[in-house]
Amino acid sequence: MGSVASVSGPGAAKEDPVKKKRNEEVAPPKSEAARHVAESKRQAVTTARGVLAQAQRDAKSAQKQEDAAKKTARDARKIAQSPGQTPAGAIRSSRVVEVLSKLVTERGGPKHIRSDNGPEFVASAVLRWAAEAGIELAHIAPGKPWQNGTDERFNGRLRDECLSMEWFRSRAEAKVVIEAWWQHYNQVRLHSSLGYLMPLEFRRQCEAVIPNPPQTAPLS
């Protein structure tokens, strides 16, 4: 009984071993190609999720800004409709005008005043005072405190280093404590933004450089 010695006939063409080796080197194994496809799909899904999450965060931020603007408008309407009443903790526009008038009298009027859109700053009394004083009001956009970064930074320090660290039992006590913190901030504390000078010393140096300094209150 005979046996089959070869699966190919005598006339079949033999594959070039050099060409076969080259093809094996160029074409990646099927398992590696599958891994590349899976990795590409995973990266695409991750990117899509990141884009969706960013879109959701942007939508929430926009909604917060819109809500803040609506709240400011409602508060302004309430104060306008009830001029004799001021919400608890709020500042009357007449008080804002009083403080600004005092500062302008002592130090001269600026070209513009930057503030947020709080009802005390958009009240008709403040707008009328600014127009009469020839001062422009530069209100920041609702929900964007970074547009007034200098004041917001100071407010943050006052809150973190003084207001949040104390328990005020009366307005008189709060006035004394805040005044002490303010005196230390201006007359003792060194500020890196002023070349490690105290604000009071920095003011003295600026007034010494200006040939004709404006009329200001005496330095304490």
Q: What is the pLDDT of residue 79?
A: 56
Phi, psi dihedrals of residue 168, rounded to the nearest 5°: -85, 125
Planar angle of CA 164, 202, 144, nearest 5 degrees = 45
Mean pLDDT of 18-40: 65
What CA–CA distance (Å, rounded) separates 82 from 176?
32
Given a cut of 50, whether residue 53 has pLDDT beyond it is yes
What CA–CA distance (Å, rounded) separates 70 from 72?
5
**139 with 117: CB under 8 angstroms?**
yes
> pTM of this prediction?
0.49
- For 144-183, the pLDDT digits (tens) are 888 888 888 888 999 999 999 999 999 899 999 999 999 9
Q: What band does 21 get if pLDDT is binned at 50, 70 and 90?
A: low
Given a cut of 70, whether residue 41 has pLDDT beyond it is yes
Q: What is the pLDDT of residue 7?
A: 46
- For 74-131, the pLDDT digits (tens) are 766 665 555 445 554 567 888 999 999 999 998 888 999 999 888 888 899 999 999 9
End-to-end CA distance of the chain: 124
Question: Residue 115 belongs to what H/E stretch?
Answer: strand 112-115
Phi, psi dihedrals of residue 10, rounded to the nearest 5°: -65, -20
Alpha helical stretches, state H, the chain: 17-26, 30-81, 93-107, 119-122, 124-133, 149-161, 171-187, 199-209
